Amino acid sequence: MTPFARRVRELRQAQGVSQKDMATALGVTPAYLSALEHGRRSPPNWAMVQKIIGYFNVIWDEADDLQRLAELSHPRVVVDTAGLPERATAIANLLARNIADLDEKELTRLYETLSAILNDRRREEP
């Protein structure tokens, strides 16, 4: 399941709405919505995210959060390290070979570490 899928499912269940009813309201098939909620589909495009935001009547930060989660939720990621340093290729391959074996605690630690490094880097940029 992707972060976006988890959040959409949480919103739908909190409002007591079935996948079928939500799919009808959004103009998609229940099969599409099910695949989206299970992380078996690429994240929806901007227009579909906006429909979902409107459907749940979320505003401001929550709407921004849904859009951000959609951008972070592609279930089949390809990392192109061509032309990057050797270490980048090694890291990408190490993660690809081992990600399925990491537990939730390890994934959280890895995510938080990488996020902190990238956030520090953004703050240092002019």
- Average pLDDT of the chain to the nearest whole number: 92
Q: Please determine, for residue 125, whether its predicted confidence score (pLDDT) is greater than 90.
A: no
Per-residue confidence (pLDDT) for residue 41, from 0 to 100: 84
Per-residue confidence (pLDDT) for residue 113, from 0 to 100: 96
Axis crossing angle, helix 30-37 with helix 19-26, rounded to the nearest 10: 110
Q: Which residues contact 44 (CB under 8 A, 6 or more apart)?
A: 4, 36, 52, 70
pTM, to two decimals: 0.67
pLDDT tens per residue, range 16-54: 999 999 999 999 999 999 999 888 888 888 999 999 999
Query: Which CATH number does the domain 3-71 belong to among 2.40.30.170, 3.40.640.10, 1.10.260.40, 1.10.600.10?
Result: 1.10.260.40
Domain parsing of the chain, residue ranges: 3-71, 86-124
Per-residue confidence (pLDDT) for residue 71, from 0 to 100: 87
Tabulate helix, strand, coil % of the chain (nearest 5). Answer: 70, 0, 30
